[in-house]
Amino acid sequence: MEVILEKQLQEALAERRAVMGEFLRLKAELVRTQQRNDDLRSENKALREALHAAEHEVTNLFSYATQMGGEAS
């Protein structure tokens, strides 16, 4: 009887180790995914700011070209 219980205990411990290993792997993957998400959000913000600056510059250049075209007429 004790041998059966000891065997079951060893199997349960082995299963627990496997589950904990998988849990730690998934936890590490979640941390990497969250970091990548944060990096992408930061990159997206920087790209949005650059696009806004470029749009502003194009608007200014278009206004300047329109003004110069009007003065040339």
Amino acid residing at 26 = L
Alpha-carbon torsion angle 60, 64, 65, 71, nearest 10: 160
- What DSSP designation does 73 have? -
pLDDT of 70: 79
Token pair for residue 72?
A: 């040339």
Higher-pLDDT residue of 69, 28: 28
pLDDT band at 73 (very low <50, low <70, confident <90, very high): low
pLDDT of 28: 98
Per-residue model confidence as pLDDT tens digits over 21-44 = 999 999 999 999 999 999 999 999
